Amino acid sequence: MKADVVIIGAGLAGLAAAAELGDRGKSVVIVDQEGPQNLGGQAFWSLGGLFMIDTPEQRRMGIKDSHALALNDWMGSAGFDRPEDAYPRKWAEAYLDFAAGEMRPWLHKMGLRWFPVVGWAERGGGFADGHGNSVPRFHITWGTGPGVLEHFIRRCKAHEDAGRITMLYRHRVDRIEMQGGAAKGISGATLAPDDAVQGARTNREAVGDFRVDASSVIVASGGIGGNFELIREIWPKERLGRAPETMLSGVPAHVDGRMIAISEQAGGQAINKDRLWFYTEGVKNWDPIWPEHGIRILPGPSAMWFDATGQRFAPPALPGFDTNGTFKAILDSGYDYSWFVLTQKVIKKEFALSGSEQNPDFTSAKWREVIKQRILSGTRATGPVEAFKEHGEDFVVADTLDELVAGMNGLAGAPLIDAAHLRAQITARDAQVDNPFSKDAQITAIQAARHYRGDKLIRTAKPHKFLDPANGPLIAVRLNLITRKTLGGLQTNLDSQMVGADGAVIPGLFAAGEVAGFGGGGYHGYNALEGTFLGGCIFSGRAAGRSEAIG
């Protein structure tokens, strides 16, 4: 086959690039090793959150945001400190310009809409010039991940119907064809059909060969979160400590990172491989789809956080504050898991589960479903959360603390937690609830969260005493470490062209999305501010599709 451009990967970044190229009248071939049931890639499973700046949604919620404040937050979080961060820094600055300017009106015109309460994710490590979001910026798209994808799929489908885009499913790329130092196409194997459900592992049986000739090749194949072997190879021991022996996977197995090495063989350079964005609040999916399937809890600020032995973590290891810092604190404890201890009142108001399938009300984009699930449910949490509480192997529910500790030690398979010590820590915390001034940093954080009307309305429970039976039952949740995003990737300039180790552009070779570190080879730096993954796929995919280097 021949085309102007071939795109490797039918996820959000690839679709965004293809839609823009189709608008330019280019002929495009999109290849993906999965079948049509996986169109959209990881974005399908997402909550649909987008990092945007100074939006009508923010202003209606009383949030005063600005480009300058977001720039301070981003750079303080990124901590760029390497010579190879030059391109990532430029991409970060360009994304912030986009997020504060054209992003929302462009997406709104396309058809996207957002839940009116803006989320306050990744609140940071405690310093104004350090890591974290100073204000809520996490805009949940009505329809969640599928609601984001549908508009890019619709645009690509129109170009497919017009003959400008061709989809090649079950085509695995094994080689980028180079000639005279320039990309000239791709080749690989056609795979046997597989009708496994969306997200499930599929076969890798090669049944033929293929080749596509094109003057431009865009790699948009995603990260490495489903490849535990590759993760352990690049694990940043100096920064995070030992690699965990046990992890859950927050992404399907096809998120394997194999195109990174193939791109390097063609002359590309992957940088910042050691910068990872994995989560600490993973629970085993009681109804799994892919191997080691984990679901991340998106917690409000009230659950008490303890290590595997029942010792409370020190700030800023608080729910929703500093992901990487808490990740290291857990590993430093000598175990690969930790515990939330909370009440029914907390789980009802504060527990959300990441993913479109775990939020059917937001995914439905219907107000009546949101009100039914989150307002009119009495003392119960949302249906998916209650299902995990009932069926999930990481949940312990009890009427008394002694019963709770017995269940926690039962899950651990050893008496690691002393009930008296745990009781003393919770009692001390409870004693601060009646104190409007409080020296407990977490109580202070809860009070601060409730100053934001969005958190007070739907996200942060009123402070209450955990050991008061009226607020029960008590709940403990074993939290596993869970893979998700890789922050480093293939180095690209602002035209989305791959840049080799010698600093030279590789003609005809481009990258977008997570495989490019969402832009430049790592535009997040060391920390992500959330909503910047889907946003980064959209922005870098659009940039590749509009690149002037694609003639």
What is the pLDDT, as a whole number, of residue 436?
Answer: 83
Distance CA 313, CA 258 (A): 37
Q: What angle do CA 395, 399, 405 make, to 5 degrees?
A: 55
If you ran DSSP here, which 8-state letter would residue 243 be given?
A: P
Q: What percent of the chain has pLDDT over 90?
A: 93
Q: Cα separations (Å) of 406 from 399, 411, 551?
A: 12, 9, 66
Top-confidence residue, 478 or 368: 478
Q: Tell me the residue ranges of DSSP E strands in 37-91.
A: 49-51
Q: How confident is the model at residue 371 (pLDDT cuts 50, 70, 90)?
A: confident
pTM for this model (two decimals): 0.96
- Phi and psi angles of residue 388, each rounded to the nearest 5 degrees, phi first: -65, -40
At 270, which helix (H) or strand (E)? strand 270-271
Q: What is the dihedral of CA 112, 117, 122, 126, to 10 degrees?
A: 140
What is the pLDDT, as a whole number, of residue 29?
Answer: 98
**Among the listed residues 475, 45, 47, the one whose alpha carbon sits nearest the alpha carbon of residue 288:** 45
If you ran DSSP here, which 8-state letter would residue 335 be given?
A: S
Give the dihedral sign, CA 264/238/477/118. negative
How many C-beta neighbours within 10 Å does residue 190 have? 18
Q: Mean pLDDT across the stretch 212-221?
A: 98
**Among the listed residues 95, 192, 99, the one whose alpha carbon sits nearest the alpha carbon of residue 137:** 99
What's at 548, amino acid-wise? E
The per-residue DSSP string of 9-28 comes to --BHHHHHHHHHHHHTT--E
Contacts of 503 (CB under 8 A, 6+ apart): none
Secondary structure (3-state) at 171: strand
Q: Is the pLDDT of residue 435 over 90?
A: no
Q: Mean pLDDT across the stretch 255-261?
A: 97
**Residue 474 contacts residue 466 (beta carbons within 8 Å):** yes
**HSE-up of 379 (CA within 13 Å, CB side)?**
7
Q: How confident is the model at residue 235 (pLDDT cuts 50, 70, 90)?
A: very high
| Helical axes 103-110 vs 86-100, angle rounded to 10° | 60
What is the pLDDT, as a whole number, of residue 372?
Answer: 87
What is the pLDDT, as a whole number, of residue 434?
Answer: 87
At 140, which helix (H) or strand (E)? strand 138-140
Q: How confident is the model at residue 377 (pLDDT cuts 50, 70, 90)?
A: confident
**Residue 411 contacts residue 478 (beta carbons within 8 Å):** yes
Q: Mean pLDDT across the stretch 320-337?
A: 96
Q: Mean pLDDT across the stretch 353-369?
A: 89
Q: Mean pLDDT across the stretch 361-379?
A: 86
Distance CA 287, CA 109 (A): 37
Which domains, from first to last, does the chain contain?
2-222+487-546 (3.50.50.60), 278-482 (3.90.700.10)
